[in-house]
Amino acid sequence: MNHPSGRVECEPMPRPMRRTYERNAALVTLAVAIPYTTAGLAADRYVDAAGQLILGLLTAVVLAGLLVLHPRAVRIQTLGVVAIATLGEIIGSLVWGLYAYRLDNLPAFVPPGHGLVFLCGVSLAALANARRGWLLVAAAVGAGAWGLAGLTVLPARDAAGAIGCTFLIAVLIKTRRPVYAGVFLVVAALEIYGTAIGTWTWEGVVPGLGLSQGNPPSGVASGYVVFDILALTLATRISRLRVRGPRRTPRASTPPI
């Protein structure tokens, strides 16, 4: 519609149309990200560091293409997750030594890969829609069962994972944010697949703490939740700064002649 000042303003999208668009964006995201990630991790087994750089560039292109489908707030939060998760990877893998990648490095595809994981979690939450409560229950039950299994029946004792699962369940109950439930389901599948094909391997004991952990630990998704919380806080602050904008000094009015 035309604004009195001459600017053209876009009318807001009707709610049913917006929901249809969000659902289609979620379906496209999952249809692209899941097979790409599966194939990319499989391809990593046969490449060197230079090949990982190519995979990293391809992953960044895929992430950029999918981000276009999502709202600005999701794009900002996704990029925040990429930045914070990359810092977490440097600390967790290269410094602390909780886990190691196949070439004992930080593969170039990992940072944008975190963005794909987060978008998949967001997409699962969007597809759940009215059934978001079931998504939360499924994630909480899955995390609890995996954490308990790590203390009882799994071959490797997983005390660290059980602690992480307890934290994750507490966050799900407190926040009731379905995106955390979606991220847990995506991360659980990714970790089981990635460790099974040898892309990365978790240490049997947490360095410096002496806590046993599985390969993968059952509570690894709790780390992603921390990344998401920090990224959400960062995105909220950026949005507020954009809304407020720089303060301008009002011009002095010219007296009528």
Residue pLDDT, tens place only, 23-46? 999 999 999 999 999 999 999 999
pTM of the model: 0.87
Tokens of 128: 């759940």
Beta strands 200-202 and 99-101: pairing type? antiparallel
Give 136: exposed, middle or buried? Use CB within 10 Å, 0-12, 13-18, 19+. Answer: buried
Residue 1: what pLDDT? 52
Residue 97: what pLDDT? 97
Secondary structure percentages of the chain, helix, strand, coil, to 5: 70, 5, 30
Residue 241: what pLDDT? 72
d(CA 192, CA 128): 23
d(CA 184, CA 128): 14
pLDDT digits (tens, 9 = 90+) for 54-87: 999 999 999 999 999 999 999 999 999 999 999 9
Residue 229: what pLDDT? 82
- Ranges of each domain in the chain: 16-241
Task: Please give the backbone phi and psi of residue 230, each rounded to the nearest 5 degrees, phi first.
Answer: -65, -40
Of 143, 157, 152, 168, the residue nearest 218 (C-alpha):
143
**DSSP notation for 70-81:** S-HHHHHHHHHH
Q: Which residues are 202's β-sheet partners?
A: 99
Residue 10: what pLDDT? 52
Q: Which residues does the chain have with pLDDT short of 50?
A: 8, 251-257
d(CA 10, CA 1): 6
